[in-house]
Amino acid sequence: MAWRISITLEADFCLDALNEAVHKFGPPEIMNTDQGSQFTSFAWTDSLRRSGVQISMDGKGRFIDNIFSERL
Domain count, the chain: 1
- Cβ neighbors of 18 (< 8 A, separation 6 or more) are 2, 44, 47, 48
> Is residue 61 in a domain?
yes
Task: Give the pLDDT score at 67.
Answer: 60
- Alpha helices per DSSP H over the chain: 12-25, 37-40, 42-50, 67-71
pLDDT in tens, 28-58: 999 988 888 899 999 999 999 999 999 998 7
Of 9, 61, 2, the C-alpha closest to 31 is 2
Structural domain of 55: 12-71
> Is residue 3 in a domain?
no
pLDDT in tens, 59-72: 766 556 556 555 55
Task: Give the pLDDT score at 69.
Answer: 57
Distances (CA, A) of 25 to 4, 8, 13, 30, 61: 17, 27, 18, 14, 31
> Is residue 50 in a domain?
yes
CATH (domain of 32) = 3.30.420.10
> Is residue 20 in a domain?
yes
> Is residue 6 in a domain?
no
pTM of the model: 0.73
> Is residue 4 in a domain?
no
